[in-house]
A and B are shown apart, each in its own frame.
Chain A
Amino acid sequence: MKIFNKVTLQSLKKNKARTIVTIIGIMLSTALICAVTTSFASARNFAIGYYEYTEGKWHGLEQYTDKDTYDLIEGSDKVKDTGVLSYIGYAEIDSTNSYKPYLYISGYEEDETGIIPIHMISGRLPENSSEILLPEHLSANGEVELHEGDKLTLEIGDRKPAPEKAKGIADIPEYIDIPDEAVSDIILTQENPFQGFDDEDGDAISVEKLDVRETREYTVVGFYERPDFEDIYCAGYTALTVPDEYTDDTMFTVYYRMNNMKDIYDFMKEKKLDGMAHSELLMFSGVSKYKTFYSVIYGLAAVVIGLIMFGSIMLIYNAFAISVADRTKQFGLLSSIGATKKQLRKMVRFEAISLGAIGIPLGIILGIVGMWVTFLAIGSRFSAFVGDRYPEPMRICISPIAIAAACVIAFVTIMISAWIPSIRATRITAVEAIRQSKDIKQKKHIKTPKIIQKLFGVSGVLAHKYFKRSKKKYRATIISLFLSIVLFISAYSFTAYLVDAIKDANNSFGMDYILNVYEPDGVEDASDDPLEILHCIRNTEHITDSAFYLRDYGFRVYTDERDIREDYIEKNVGQSGRGDENIKHDGFRLSNLHFYYVDDESFRKVLKSEGLSESEFMNKDHPLGILVDNTLLFNEKSGRMERTKVFNNNDFDITLLKNKKIEGYYYSGDYIDSAIYVNIEDELDKKYVPYDECLEDITMHIGKVTDKRPYFVSSYGVSVIYPYSLRKEILGDYTNDMYSYEYAINADDTKAGYEELKTTLKENGIPDGEFWNYAESIESERSMIVIVKVFAYGFIVLISLIAAANVFNTITTNINLRRREFAMLKSVGMTAKGMRRMLNYERLLYGTKALLYGLPVSVGVTYLIYLSINEGIDTSFFVPWVAVAVAVLSVFLVVFSTMMFSMSKIKKDNPIDALKNENL
């Protein structure tokens, strides 16, 4: 009925503030839902982009196949485009990588760019069969320096096994496939690694040969990124050129795209193709074979959306409940005039639809804009998840399905929210509504505590009595506040615990790069002065800090049991035990100890940060170490990572057991109660020396136990730090038995710093083979943390805004409904001060009650989150006090400002008019 719709719309216009706030609530809920659906669509889009970029846009692939198969695929009308790599041959190239001594020359053609993942770095694609495109890792990996325009003469042929080369060699590794001479004419392809291995002198032995067919000259026209289709073990660097005419003998790798990708599996079956489908691309594109994958994705989305819907329904429902409460008399009157229950229910639902018609589109726009801004800010971080192999950031994908889904879900949310209020609108009988006899039902006398009278006077007494009599009206506000508090603090806790767990589980180092210079046992210090290298590193642009250290691993370390914490002993008896029963040594045995002999400058920095004296700790006669006792250890008993403190003392000695040196032999391992020493010259000459003859004690002094971990120290296991200059004084004959020599380096710009450092190392002849960009590898962890934080805090903020909107609605309506009461109080002489007191007490009531329920429940939920995370990794329970403080402040702020707003309107009321006004 149009008249009912008009009444509804006019009522909405009349209560502008509440209408606007309800629309805002709907908008925010819709925005949240839209953000979820859009995020999933965008992530899917990103995944598709990633796979298309790195692996190519193909749907199907036939490797090393013949011309018939190629023609079969090319000729099919179901196939849209193809790309082909055709075998031309191998040519030897002067590569320093002995396991990749060839250029693999391949013909390259494709109907559409991107089917085969070729990404240009410089130059252009070859245009004829005399031009060649080279991969960039030919220089970085093979150290073959070529440039655009260079002429390259190549002797091209086929790789074949050379069983004759294998004659007389005893220990050929199993992975080398030496066929019988009868079948030695087979052609080896990129699927076959280089048939060679290192002998005992470290020289490479090849058991294959290159059968040269022709000599060709090429002009280098460009370079391209290392291709995804060239595995690490491939024997040749893939160079691309335009193929000559194909013959029946040509070997092809065919990449193809279907007109409809859903046809791929049927096509492969129909044509009896035994190649492979691009499973990841197909999966993300929604091809039906991967129903399970999508059911997981939809399930996850459903959970998140379900949570948002739950919160939204609880809060938006309140808006409609208030509207119905406010229009009780109106509904009653309409009923008395002849409106049916169905018509009244439709009124409420029409209200929901009207508000939704405004709120949902605005919410969709807000959601899209919000996600656009979010991806603009953090979109590039998603690339870190895929090892920076995909240069594109995650961008927003405005999928019509995602938007439609968000609209439908938001609409359903609103209709569910309006359902119960619409039923309630019909439950009020006409006569009750007209008489408003349901207004207050006083069953018994209400006693007001004396303290309220003392603090708030008559005003407080009135507020208290009103509160007790009409609890239902207050309940809605308190429930809204309660839900907001719980959601806010829980979401904050979840983020905080998760971020902590990610950091701990990934066992972060504090440095951006590690340079490892490895020296084998028994060899003197490297002739390069490590401190000189340190100096070069420190002078490199973008490098902010660096430390050099020798790192030793303490497998057998003993200490007085009295220095160890009892709880550590209880937890770890299974692992290290009170001793190894095969070694007779006093004391408690520790494991997982790292010893750092760090450059003196860095050691002094640590001393300074701990407030320790150099003269005490760097005393040649009695050097003292700093022990870092704040580690994560894997406890085999409980099966989890546990944060552990080991020591209960600050000043004690530990005993490191070292295997004595035996001339001409090296220590290679243990056997029951003996150490195994192997003859350096003859591997078969082994000695089994009992522990009591070969183990030597080295006493080491600890001067300080700290839980502050310097950036160069591992977070796994207990670490002891000494100055480099005193290593001989501490270790004596064992000074050179170091596990590894390392440089820990930090930079202000990790990408630029890495490039600069690579140049520095090259210029100074320092090998960079063991140079790790740790910053890049943990970038995914940092990115994960940033992404989790952004999404979680975004969710928190939006939910809080919805809650604030809801609280505003409830409180303003409650006050509006009491206009007559306030007018009456004014008319009998209550002052403005008295009114303020009354409202202050109410504000206190709202806020305190909500917090009284909300805070314990929030702490309970936080505890559940802690238990859940603690299942896998040792975490201490903490209450997110920041969130609690923000929640407390926000509750009172929202309540306070809302009441101020409402009262400012009522202040202007003329008491007589308000009392007289008997219309609705």
Chain B
Amino acid sequence: MVRYRHKLRKEDTLMEILRVENLCKTYGSGENEVRALDNVSFSVKKGEFVAIIGPSGSGKSTLLHILGGVDKPTSGKVFMDDSDVYTQNDEQLAIFRRRQVGLIYQFYNLIPVLNVTENITLPVLMDGQKVNEERLNELLDILKLKGREEHLPNQLSGGQQQRVSIGRALMNAPAVVLADEPTGNLDSKNSKEIVDLLKVSNKKYGQTLVIITHDENIALQADRIIAIEDGRITRDEVIRK
């Protein structure tokens, strides 16, 4: 078992895209206090593919939500591209989520009244920006959604819906893509396809990827595995350079 390093080495801060320092998240108080995260610190390099594994209730999802700016830590800091995420106000955080982060959920979480194109381009449209048609077409191609641009979510299979979700996460080429059990709701064939797509985005486009999974097979396809248990990092292993 590799010992968890409490201090970051100097060379690791080069090309660093994400850094977490002494992150804590507690719920409740007194006797009922639950420490979901307990002094978590680590960093992620640009272009890295990190898998976070751990049993149920270990704090994986909590960690992901905090990294994504969706949930606030009780204490500690999160730096994305060297800027402290949680010194921003609500408006700035929203824009941060829109531009710097791409979130993929286990249960797709598409807007049912918007079609495939609209769901994918949602972060761009929220920004009031013009959609980069070339990028969109490229994503549709890679995600094998060509011909389904006008379809609504209820007209797609589970796998297709998750691909739309991935497209949404990649559209703005965010600093980090965070995926919470992206294959949890899919069969093995679709699961493989999704993981392959994520790997493509990582390898081909250098997209930094942090993925939560309980599936060891998927974890082993990452460059690095971080294991969490009871809110603490118990293992942080680079398995591929």
A residues within 8 Å of B by Cβ?
1-4, 6-7, 10-11, 13-14, 329-330, 333-343, 429-431, 434, 918-920
Are A3 and B125 CB-contacts (below 8 A) given A333-B109, A919-B108? yes
Shortest C-beta distance, A356 to chain B (Å), equals 21
Shortest C-beta distance, A285 to chain B (Å), equals 52
Neighbouring A residues of B111 by C-beta, 8 Å: 7, 330, 333-334, 920
Interface magnitude class on chain B: 20 to 34
Q: Are A3 and B122 in contact (CB under 8 A)?
A: yes
Give the residue name and chain of the B residue nearest to A3 (CB).
Answer: B125
**A-side interface mostly:** helix
Name the residue among B107, B113, B161 with the largest chain A CB count within 10 angstroms. B113
Are A10 and B108 CB-contacts (below 8 A) given A336-B70, A338-B99? no
B44 within 8 Å of A (CB atoms): no
Neighbouring B residues of A329 by C-beta, 8 Å: 109
Are A339 and B71 CB-contacts (below 8 A) given A1-B128, A919-B108? no
Q: What are 7 inter-chain pairs, A to B, with CB distance below 8 A?
A: A1-B125, A7-B111, A13-B113, A334-B111, A335-B97, A341-B94, A920-B112
Neighbouring A residues of B103 by C-beta, 8 Å: 336-337
A417 CA / B154 CA spacing, docked (Å):
33
Q: Are A335 and B126 in contact (CB under 8 A)?
A: no
Q: Are A338 and B94 in contact (CB under 8 A)?
A: yes
Contact among A10, A14, A330, A337 for B98, CB-based, below 8 A = A337
User: Which 8 pairs of residues, A with B, have the shortest CB-CB distance?
Assistant: A338-B98, A10-B113, A3-B125, A918-B107, A340-B94, A431-B71, A338-B97, A430-B70
Neighbouring B residues of A10 by C-beta, 8 Å: 113-114
Neighbouring A residues of B154 by C-beta, 8 Å: 919
A334 CA / B109 CA spacing, docked (Å):
10
B68 within 8 Å of A (CB atoms): yes
B65 within 8 Å of A (CB atoms): yes
A333 CA / B94 CA spacing, docked (Å):
11
B153 within 8 Å of A (CB atoms): yes
Shortest C-beta distance, A427 to chain B (Å), equals 11
Contact among B91, B99, B125 for A340, CB-based, below 8 A = B91
A335 CA / B94 CA spacing, docked (Å):
7
A847 CA / B103 CA spacing, docked (Å):
45
Q: A11-B113, A338-B98 are in contact. List 18 more A-B contacts (CB 8 A).
A: A2-B125, A3-B114, A7-B114, A10-B114, A14-B113, A329-B109, A333-B109, A338-B126, A339-B126, A340-B91, A341-B94, A430-B65, A430-B70, A431-B71, A919-B110, A919-B153, A919-B154, A920-B110
Neighbouring A residues of B114 by C-beta, 8 Å: 3, 6-7, 10
Neighbouring B residues of A4 by C-beta, 8 Å: 126
Are A337 and B122 CB-contacts (below 8 A) given A330-B111, A434-B70, A434-B109? yes
B229 within 8 Å of A (CB atoms): no
Shortest C-beta distance, B106 to chain A (Å), equals 9
A11 CA / B90 CA spacing, docked (Å):
26
Neighbouring A residues of B127 by C-beta, 8 Å: 338
Interface residues of B in 89-121 (CB under 8 A from A): 90-91, 94-99, 103, 105, 107-114, 118
B224 within 8 Å of A (CB atoms): no
B232 within 8 Å of A (CB atoms): no
Neighbouring A residues of B113 by C-beta, 8 Å: 6-7, 10-11, 13-14
Give the residue name and chain of the A residue nearest to B110 (CB).
Answer: A919
Neighbouring B residues of A343 by C-beta, 8 Å: 94, 126
Shortest C-beta distance, A361 to chain B (Å), equals 25
A341 CA / B92 CA spacing, docked (Å):
11
Neighbouring A residues of B112 by C-beta, 8 Å: 14, 919-920
Name the residue among A11, A329, A333, A341 with the largest chain B CB count within 10 angstroms. A333
B182 within 8 Å of A (CB atoms): no
A333 CA / B70 CA spacing, docked (Å):
10
B19 within 8 Å of A (CB atoms): no
Shortest C-beta distance, A819 to chain B (Å), equals 14
Neighbouring B residues of A341 by C-beta, 8 Å: 90-91, 94
Neighbouring B residues of A918 by C-beta, 8 Å: 107-108, 185
Neighbouring B residues of A3 by C-beta, 8 Å: 114, 118, 122, 125-126
A1 CA / B96 CA spacing, docked (Å):
18
A431 CA / B105 CA spacing, docked (Å):
12
Neighbouring A residues of B70 by C-beta, 8 Å: 335-336, 429-431, 434
A189 CA / B212 CA spacing, docked (Å):
108
A335 CA / B98 CA spacing, docked (Å):
9
Neighbouring A residues of B126 by C-beta, 8 Å: 1, 3-4, 334, 337-339, 343
B123 within 8 Å of A (CB atoms): yes
Give the residue name and chain of the B residue nearest to A341 (CB).
Answer: B90
A911 CA / B40 CA spacing, docked (Å):
42
A744 CA / B198 CA spacing, docked (Å):
101
Contact among A13, A330, A337 for B97, CB-based, below 8 A = A337
A335 CA / B103 CA spacing, docked (Å):
11
B163 within 8 Å of A (CB atoms): no
A799 CA / B233 CA spacing, docked (Å):
62
B77 within 8 Å of A (CB atoms): no
Name the residue among B94, B96, B99 with the largest chain A CB count within 10 angstroms. B94
Neighbouring B residues of A340 by C-beta, 8 Å: 90-91, 94-95
A14 CA / B114 CA spacing, docked (Å):
12
A6 CA / B126 CA spacing, docked (Å):
12
A920 CA / B152 CA spacing, docked (Å):
13
Shortest C-beta distance, A587 to chain B (Å), equals 86
A919 CA / B107 CA spacing, docked (Å):
7
Give the residue name and chain of the B residue nearest to A338 (CB).
Answer: B98
B60 within 8 Å of A (CB atoms): no
Interface residues of B in 54-75 (CB under 8 A from A): 65, 68, 70-71
Neighbouring B residues of A919 by C-beta, 8 Å: 107-110, 112, 153-154, 161
Shortest C-beta distance, B73 to chain A (Å), equals 12
Give the residue name and chain of the B residue nearest to A13 (CB).
Answer: B113
Give the residue name and chain of the B residue nearest to A335 (CB).
Answer: B94
Q: Are B98 and A431 in contact (CB under 8 A)?
A: no
Neighbouring A residues of B68 by C-beta, 8 Å: 336
Q: Are B109 and A920 in contact (CB under 8 A)?
A: yes
Contact among B71, B107, B123, B153 for A338, CB-based, below 8 A = B123
Give the residue name and chain of the A residue nearest to B185 (CB).
Answer: A918
Neighbouring B residues of A7 by C-beta, 8 Å: 111, 113-114
Name the residue among B103, B126, B127 with the largest chain A CB count within 10 angstroms. B126
A237 CA / B202 CA spacing, docked (Å):
108
Neighbouring A residues of B105 by C-beta, 8 Å: 434
Neighbouring A residues of B128 by C-beta, 8 Å: 1
A215 CA / B78 CA spacing, docked (Å):
115
A528 CA / B78 CA spacing, docked (Å):
114
Q: Are B168 and A337 in contact (CB under 8 A)?
A: yes
Q: Are B110 and A430 in contact (CB under 8 A)?
A: no
Give the residue name and chain of the B residue nearest to A8 (CB).
Answer: B113
A340 CA / B103 CA spacing, docked (Å):
16
Neighbouring A residues of B97 by C-beta, 8 Å: 335-338, 430
A2 CA / B121 CA spacing, docked (Å):
13
Are A431 and B65 CB-contacts (below 8 A) given A3-B125, A337-B122? yes
Shortest C-beta distance, A343 to chain B (Å), equals 7
Give the residue name and chain of the A residue nearest to B72 (CB).
Answer: A429
Neighbouring A residues of B107 by C-beta, 8 Å: 918-919
A334 CA / B111 CA spacing, docked (Å):
9
A147 CA / B206 CA spacing, docked (Å):
111
A10 CA / B118 CA spacing, docked (Å):
13
Q: Mark B30-69, 1 if CB is under 8 A from A, else 0.
A: 0000000000000000000000000000000000010010
Q: Are A342 and B123 in contact (CB under 8 A)?
A: no
Neighbouring B residues of A2 by C-beta, 8 Å: 125
A341 CA / B126 CA spacing, docked (Å):
12
Neighbouring A residues of B96 by C-beta, 8 Å: 338
A431 CA / B109 CA spacing, docked (Å):
13
A330 CA / B94 CA spacing, docked (Å):
15
Give the residue name and chain of the A residue nearest to B109 (CB).
Answer: A333
Shortest C-beta distance, B119 to chain A (Å), equals 10
Contact among A6, A13, A330, A338 for B95, CB-based, below 8 A = A338
Neighbouring B residues of A333 by C-beta, 8 Å: 109, 111
Interface residues of B in 200-226 (CB under 8 A from A): none
